[in-house]
Amino acid sequence: MDCTTSQELFGSKNDVKEEGVRLASGFINEPWYADLQKLTNEELMRMFTMISDGHYRFAKNAWYIPIGGDQRCPIMVAKGYRSPDTLDRMAEFQDTAKLLENDFRNFIDAWDFGYITEHDIEKAILKILESRNIAITEHS
């Protein structure tokens, strides 16, 4: 993927920075952020809780065949889907993943290609919830 294509998909990594860290205001206009805004407050909180807890690592590129353990991406977690434990549930999981991938393409690509981190997602969620007038105390 060339630089131009990457910038069109995910935005610019040269966003506003403070001490080397991207600020939430720096990715407001990025396509992945717009996808994240499609989630409900409950879904955002589910994802935020998993990130802030620190005990779960979201999977990358594990959408269609989550082999071994819990391998869900942030969107699957936000939507409340569990990892499949039977073949029937595996087929259902794959179908659901395909639908969600269409709806959240920019976010998923940014996550899978490593353009955004859990920290970026956490800051974006706080920014979205703040814009929706929901106060959340950041953890230290």
Enter the pTM of the model: 0.74
Domain residue spans of the chain: 27-131
Alpha-carbon span 128 to 133, nearest angstrom: 9
Provide the H-helix boundaries in 82-117: 87-103, 105-112
Does residue 55 carry a pLDDT above 90?
Answer: no
C-alpha pair distances (Å), 94 with each of 62, 90, 110: 10, 6, 20
- For residue 48, give the nearest of 115, 136, 114 by alpha carbon: 136
* Strand duo 17-18 + 21-22: pairing: antiparallel
CA-CA distance, 40 to 63, in Å (whole number)? 21
pLDDT in tens, 25-51: 678 889 999 999 999 999 999 999 999
Give pLDDT tens digits for 73-83: 889 889 998 88
Quickly state the pLDDT bin for 14 (edges 50, 70, 90).
Answer: very low
Measured between alpha carbons, how far is 100 from 56 in angstroms, rounded to an integer? 21
Point out which residues pair with 22 in neighbouring strands.
17
